[in-house]
């Protein structure tokens, strides 16, 4: 009986080879590259023998720009049953294509620690005034100014799931009060207070930092609009580490130039890559990065661990974590 086949990118094979070879389960590893698919000994896989059951999308594919072509190749024979993704969400078009094909798909919590650390660093960079300090150093300007502490502040995390929880875990030791918002009221020890999404209007006016960490759904698309922004403090900071379409860019730009918030930190955008002519690039109240919040140095190791753990669970017929349902 033919062995089950697991398709992984050639670029990551050496990194996980020993862990795959010592697995208690029997399967064949297929190594994918944009030009060919090979067996571990380097010989080409014939088209008639190409029947992957499992596929793995590691972060390396995203950095190499091979995400789309890998998914197309994976789905082509119509044999794949389950795919493990490195991403925290399932809204990317290639992932939607996997789901539309009726294939099981799991996302990953490997980016979460990086997103949380990015959020902490980005907020403190702004409130501590480091951009101005850098300018002072360039001009040899001795400027003794006070700075804002996050201690005693209130952070509202909209979408208090695994990423929101990681942010809370890092912020609370600094003396930050955490308000978590979810679709339904669920008590959570990681937050000082939990509210529903319908109750956001009750807590937005008191939040010093509002962090958008919810998934992109029909309900959250355009959630951060004029009404939402008008309820924020004029001095507050909006952070979006969710998905671009959750925030209405036009409404945000208008609010930044009028009632507030006072600052926006954006890692995701309605259109990516962000167009060079976008007003966000040069806006004095915007700090932006190129969708890299989750790309910390630990994501590769954590992503490998998630794949091996999940692969064993799949091959043993156990329940998979983080499975996405269409």
- Report the catalytic residues: 243, 272, 291
- From residue 225, alpha-carbon distances to 180, 183, 230, 312 in Å are 19, 18, 9, 43
Torsion of CA 288, 182, 109, 122, to 10 degrees: 30
* Cβ atoms 108, 303 nearer than 8 A: yes
Element (H, E) at 27: strand 27-32
Location of structure tokens 């000994």: 41
Chain CA centroid to CA 285, Å: 23
* Cβ atoms 11, 60 nearer than 8 A: yes
- From residue 217, alpha-carbon distances to 13, 100, 274, 305, 326 in Å are 34, 16, 21, 28, 11
Which residues touch 58 (CB under 8 Å, ≥6 apart)?
A: 8, 9, 12, 86, 300, 303, 304, 307
Alpha-carbon span 195 to 119, nearest angstrom: 21
Q: How many CA atoms lie less than 13 Å away from 304 in the CB half-sphere?
A: 16
Alpha-carbon span 179 to 160, nearest angstrom: 9
Which residues touch 162 (CB under 8 Å, ≥6 apart)?
A: 88, 109, 112
Alpha-carbon span 211 to 246, nearest angstrom: 12
Alpha-carbon span 27 to 1, nearest angstrom: 11
Q: Is 241 exposed, middle or buried (0-12, 13-18, 19+ CB in 10 A)?
A: buried
């Amino acid at each position: 009986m033919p062995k089950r086949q697991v398709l992984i990118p050639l670029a990551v094979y050496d990194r996980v080879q020993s862990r795959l070879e010592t697995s208690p389960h029997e399967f064949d590893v297929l190594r994918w590259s944009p030009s060919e698919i090979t067996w571990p000994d380097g010989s080409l896989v014939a088209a008639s023998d190409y029947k992957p059951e499992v596929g793995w999308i590691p972060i390396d594919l995203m950095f190499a720009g091979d995400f789309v072509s890998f998914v197309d190749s994976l789905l082509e024979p119509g044999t794949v049953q389950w795919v493990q993704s490195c991403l925290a969400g399932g809204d990317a078009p290639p992932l939607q294509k996997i789901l539309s094909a009726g294939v099981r798909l799991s996302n990953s919590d490997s980016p979460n620690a990086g997103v949380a650390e990015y959020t902490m660093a980005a907020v403190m960079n702004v409130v501590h005034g480091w951009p101005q300090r850098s300018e002072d150093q360039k001009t040899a300007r001795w400027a003794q100014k006070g700075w804002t502490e996050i201690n005693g502040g209130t952070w509202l995390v909209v979408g208090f799931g695994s990423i929101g929880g990681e942010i809370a875990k890092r912020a609370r030791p600094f003396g930050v009060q955490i308000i978590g918002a979810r679709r339904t009221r669920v008590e959570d020890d990681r937050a000082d207070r939990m509210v529903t999404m319908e109750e956001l209007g009750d807590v937005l006016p008191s939040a010093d930092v509002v962090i958008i960490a919810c998934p992109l759904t029909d309900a959250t698309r355009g959630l951060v609009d004029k009404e939402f922004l008008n309820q924020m403090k004029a001095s507050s900071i909006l952070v979006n580490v969710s998905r671009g379409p959750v925030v209405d860019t036009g409404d945000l730009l208008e609010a930044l130039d009028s009632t507030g918030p006072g600052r926006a930190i954006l890692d995701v955008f309605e259109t990516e890559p962000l167009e060079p002519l976008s007003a966000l690039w040069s806006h004095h109240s915007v700090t932006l990065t190129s969708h890299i919040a989750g790309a910390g140095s630990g994501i590769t190791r954590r992503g490998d661990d998630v794949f091996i753990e999940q692969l064993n669970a799949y091959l043993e017929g156990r329940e998979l974590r983080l499975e996405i349902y269409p």
